[in-house]
Amino acid sequence: MSRLVVVSNRVADPRKTAAGGLAVALGDVLNNTGGLWFGWSGKVIEEADGGKPGEGKLHTQQAGGVKLVTLDLSRQDHDSFYAGYSNGVLWPVFHYRLDLADFESAHIAGYRRVNQLFARKLHPLLRDDDIIWIHDYHLIPLAAELRALGCTQRIGFFLHIPLPPPLILAAIPGHDWLIRALFAYNVVGFQSNADHAHFCSYVEAEAHAQNLGDGRWRAFNRTVQAGAFPIGIDVEEFVGLANAPEGREMCERMRREYSRRKLLVGVDRLDYSKGLPQRMLAFREMLQRYPETHRSATLIQIASPSREDVSAYSDILHQLESLCGSINGNFGELDWMPVRYMHRTVARARLPGLYRASSVALVTPLRDGMNLVAKEFLAAQDPQDPGVLVLSRFAGAAEQLREALLVNPYDIEGTANAIHLALQMPVEERRARHQSLMRTIREFDVHWWCDSFLDTLVKAEAEETGTPWLRL
């Protein structure tokens, strides 16, 4: 295969296990092709230190066979591109939260400026036969900006978050511009069939695109291939971590500590899409309805800090803290706290042991592109005595993980009953469900995801010459 160039908002050194499964999976292909990974350095340069909008210094680092190239952002670019448009408009709207979107026009200007900056800095580093894979909502117009500079390479895009139905998408000022930008790609991938269907209905109704069959759509003088490529995890890596000494030690420590109770676990970035307050309400409802669970069930909720400079995030933090406090205040005993809540990031090596020691995982987002925690929990279980996954039907993962206990997280009573059912489930049923879920996550693991997307991209129609991309 030609050299792979990956572009995403943040880059990670694929050699470090803390980087996570995605970096490891992309790292394999990047390594094998002597690839390049391009993104923001994470550094913000204040105006007083010379940070100017639309400009940024490049840093280059070699990580094994992979070249990591990162770019600093000025304070103004960071605030409008990252906090303002990406996380203040696209994230909430794509998660169906129009009420949380802040449609300020300066934000979109910053979003365009940073995508142009990325294109300008990346363009000189590209070779004619590169395969370029761009990730996520921060960089939707990047291919269009690269095409405007004359790039004719195959370019693919993968959206890690959901794509909402056309009427919700249409609430974004300039939504037609965003979707038109997707036609600069050769392949556009979504997490689920539902997201893919939303794309199809949007381009048909709003862009009057012509359906060429096999997922191909034609509009704006261009053809794009669209499809669902549900992301997976590196299952074997996770099974290995759960069985490694640190994983076992963590699991045994948790089991010793909670020997008289069943553990429930939740691991999420602290984000309003994850449905954390609703989860706490459902857990409280379960304690209220089923007094026999008092003293016998403890929920460990890890909420790792995330995007603390966006105001909707501090609201969710206060709501969650107050709910956990009131559950412990109302139900706790001298020797039992129903909820252990941690607003902290836990080391990655400790997660598999924590998952394995838990009888139930609560993965109940209000909306999620996929949700990898659901798959990590399954991979970490003891197949002879596995825990039960309670999963929101609104996570992309629910399309694949049909044998989980699927819940509607807005239905507090229904979710409370499902949690109770999970705590009671006999071992034969747990084993049968786990076996079949493991088959699915093994078949559609992160390597399948990577290979099937890149295979589609390599086989996609080559760029048409003579129809230059008109600047957006």
Q: Supply the DSSP string of 124-136, one letter for each residue.
A: GG--TT-EEEEES
Please report whether residue 304 would count as binding ligand GDG according to CB under 6 A: yes
Stretch that binds ligand GDG, among 171-179, 199-207, 316-324, 369-377 (CB under 6 A): 369-377
Are 310 and 88 spatial neighbours (Cβ–Cβ below 8 Å)?
Answer: yes
Q: What is the distance between the alpha carbons of residues 184 and 207, in angstroms, rounded to a whole number?
A: 14
Give me the catalytic one of 78, 107, 138, 160. Answer: 160
Residues 370-429 that bind ligand GDG (CB under 6 A): 370-373, 376
Nearer to ligand GDG, 347 or 462 (CB): 347
Interface map 221-240 toward ligand GDG (x if CB under 6 A)? ----------x---------
Please report whether residue 218 would count as binding ligand GDG according to CB under 6 A: no
| Among positions 67, 107, 160, 430, the unique one binding ligand GDG when judged by CB under 6 A | 160
Nearer to ligand GDG, 192 or 417 (CB): 192
Report in angstroms how near the CB of residue 370 gets to ligand GDG at its nearest. Answer: 3
Structure tokens at 334: 């001298």
Structure tokens at 407: 């819940």
78-115 residues labelled b (16+ CB within 10 A) or e (exposed): bbbbbbbbbbbbbbbbbbbbeebbeeeeebbebbbbbb
Give me the catalytic one of 268, 271, 368, 445. Answer: 368
Report in angstroms how near the CB of residue 376 gets to ligand GDG at its nearest. Answer: 5
Q: What is the total count of residues that contact ligand GDG (CB under 6 A)?
A: 20
Q: What is the C-alpha end-to-end distance of the chain, expressed in Å?
A: 31
Nearer to ligand GDG, 19 or 125 (CB): 19
Nearer to ligand GDG, 36 or 397 (CB): 397
Report in angstroms how near the CB of residue 161 gets to ligand GDG at its nearest. Answer: 5
Please report whether residue 302 would count as binding ligand GDG according to CB under 6 A: yes
Where do the H-state alpha helices sit in 300-445?
A: 311-331, 351-357, 372-380, 412-424, 427-443
Stretch that binds ligand GDG, among 169-177, 197-205, 326-334, 342-350 (CB under 6 A): 342-350
Stretch that binds ligand GDG, among 107-115, 143-151, 275-283, 362-370 (CB under 6 A): 362-370
Q: Which residue has the tokens 């390479």?
A: 153
Please report whether residue 161 would count as binding ligand GDG according to CB under 6 A: yes
**Closest listed residue to residue 117, CA positions, set 41, 222, 186, 4:** 41
Please report whether residue 279 would count as binding ligand GDG according to CB under 6 A: no
Report in angstroms how near the CB of residue 283 gets to ligand GDG at its nearest. Answer: 19
Report in angstroms how near the CB of residue 209 gets to ligand GDG at its nearest. Answer: 26
Where do the H-state alpha helices sit in 16-165?
A: 21-32, 75-77, 91-94, 105-122, 142-148
Structure tokens at 266: 């939740």
**Closest listed residue to residue 6, CA positions, set 127, 160, 134:** 134
Percent of the chain that is helix, strand, coil (3-state, to 5): 50, 20, 30
Interface map 6-45 toward ligand GDG (x if CB under 6 A)? --------------x-------------------------
Report in angstroms how near the CB of residue 157 gets to ligand GDG at its nearest. Answer: 13
* Polymer length in residues for the chain: 472
Could you confirm whether 294 is annotated as catalytic? no
Are 35 and 62 spatial neighbours (Cβ–Cβ below 8 Å)?
Answer: no
Nearer to ligand GDG, 224 or 450 (CB): 450
| Among positions 368, 378, 405, 434, the unique one binding ligand GDG when judged by CB under 6 A | 368
* Amino acid found at 24: V
Nearer to ligand GDG, 28 or 368 (CB): 368
Q: Which residues are 341's β-sheet partners?
A: 301
Q: What is the distance between the alpha carbons of residues 454 and 30, in angstroms, rounded to a whole number?
A: 12
Nearer to ligand GDG, 345 or 467 (CB): 345
Q: What are phi and psi of 73, to 5 degrees?
A: -120, 145
Q: What is the distance between the alpha carbons of residues 258 and 388, in angstroms, rounded to a whole number?
A: 18
| Among positions 369, 386, 387, 409, the unique one binding ligand GDG when judged by CB under 6 A | 369
Q: What is the distance between the alpha carbons of residues 30 and 132, in angstroms, rounded to a whole number?
A: 11
Could you confirm whether 160 is annotated as catalytic? yes
Catalytic residues: 160, 368
Where do contacts with ligand GDG occur on this chain (CB under 6 A)?
20, 160-161, 231, 267, 269, 302, 304, 345-348, 351, 368-373, 376
